[in-house]
Structure 1
């Protein structure tokens, strides 16, 4: 073997090893349940919110955890099924959820598999089953909530989760609308932006979260919220999703000029809350 052949062989071996490592470890690159921590440091009652501790079992027999934050008269309020981003846990979203609570909503906060106190390990396939189990649970709680007023809310990868759930057969009649915030068209498209050096590995991505295709099968109204200072998801992703939502009964947008990827809800203030409330009112008026 000459020097050139040896270098080619070594390069191929290194490339193959890198590709194998990326394939095996891709979930650890995408999902971060331990950043900053997997443990719950607060609970809803620490924020003055009444709640029910919920354990669900998914289609593939994984136990996941959730909190159902409920109003004093929960059957008189709409309910958001809330899907968070790829890091941390539901306790880290309590300040945000308190805003929704103050707007008069019940909120089912879903802890994906491998997050918080849920069992299992996060994958796209598994998280879609988590979302389906959460919707099935809240649809069965007619004793607590008005099951005719269920909406999906998702931020970042949670938006991909909400869109995927809304696109599933049978979901159309189970929910009234979808709200997503700072979400992306697909993780393959995000690789082009965040990790362009890994473009070669996209054919091996098993966590594509292709919202651009899924949103084409969503029939209920969709609201897309975006922060113009989002440092992670390019702003054209939201516009592409909006254009692709051709079957939705109607679409709405809300822009937060100084909103970053993780703080749009905070920077948006009362206008952010009012936009969501008006979107739900528009649906319930039958516009």
Structure 2
């Protein structure tokens, strides 16, 4: 009986390893519209990935969305920056929002660095990286590999594989999966960081954001952690305190 149960568990584990990308990247295939002020810009040598760009006179913000897959769903965050006069460049992920291709941790992180390099060539202004949920891993990756003026993280994870383990009852961080380990990047980040997390977030519990903040602080970085008690994972940017904290941080 034990051997039969163990065999079923192993088969389940193998199946989850094979299927796990579909859970990390459940990208919507439809394209939700953005205002015409956001120009679609192909990312050189990284097709099919592309940027949505609105030029401004202030600092530049490189934005990385969550795993909904269509940048039009994140207009609240983009408009927060555009209305303040900042240049906004948002990465559209391969495999979602009407784009072809297959996403992976490796490819998305390469796309994110290419997006920074493109934006850096377009502006003399300082660049801030801003990431939500899955995009927090990309924002931290860029901050670890490129010079940035600041890092804004909304509902970030410390290690995505831990959330996978919780959901699957498997030791995901020890399996051959895409781990998305943000904790492994903290000693390479040298910019001020703002982390905001919804107190009612059940998808990525606020404890994940708190652990990430403490790890960055231990590394000596200037870190602000704001818990928004009434917000959950999906409505964090609708909380008035979210926008106020973003503006105060960037000032």
Settle same-fold status: TM greater than 0.5. yes
Number of equivalent positions: 250
**Of the candidates 97, 100, 110, which is equivalent to residue 116 of structure 1?**
97
Matches within 5 A, 1:190-205: 190-193=163-166, 195-199=167-171, 201-205=172-176
**Where does residue 133 of structure 1 map in the other structure?**
114
Query: Does the alignment pair 1:25 with 2:19?
Result: yes
**Where does residue 137 of structure 2 map in the other structure?**
160
In structure 2, distance between residues paired with 1:185 and 1:203: 16
Alpha-carbon spacing, 1:112–1:41, altered in 2? closer, same or farther (3 Å): closer
SS for the counterpart of 1:44 is coil
* 2:32–2:97 contact (8 Å) kept in structure 1: no
**Where does residue 192 of structure 2 map in the other structure?**
221
1:40-69 Cα distance to aligned partner (Å, 9 max, x none): 131222xxxx222111145xx543122102
**Of the candidates 83, 87, 92, which is equivalent to residue 64 of structure 2?**
83
* 2:13–2:170 contact (8 Å) kept in structure 1: no
1:249 deviates by 4.4
Q: Aligned-pair RMSD on alpha carbons?
A: 2.1
1:90 deviates by 0.3
**Where does residue 51 of structure 2 map in the other structure?**
66
**Of the candidates 236, 240, 243, which is equivalent to residue 264 of structure 1?**
236
1:95 deviates by 3.3
Max radius of gyration: which structure? 1
**Of the candidates 25, 31, 37, which is equivalent to residue 40 of structure 1?**
31
**Where does residue 248 of structure 2 map in the other structure?**
278
In structure 1, distance between residues paired with 2:110 and 2:8: 36
SS for the counterpart of 2:43 is strand
In structure 2, distance between residues paired with 1:127 and 1:255: 28
In structure 2, distance between residues paired with 1:249 and 1:202: 26
Query: Does the alignment pair 1:252 with 2:224?
Result: yes
Provide structure 2 residue ranges, at least 5 long, that are not aligned to the other structure. Answer: none
Provide structure 1 residue ranges, at least 5 long, that are not aligned to the other structure. Answer: 282-287
The normalised TM-score by structure 1 is 0.80
Query: Does the alignment pair 1:180 with 2:161?
Result: no
**Where does residue 284 of structure 1 map in the other structure?**
none
The normalised TM-score by structure 2 is 0.90
Alpha-carbon spacing, 1:15–1:253, altered in 2? closer, same or farther (3 Å): closer
SS for the counterpart of 2:244 is helix
* 2:43–2:50 contact (8 Å) kept in structure 1: yes
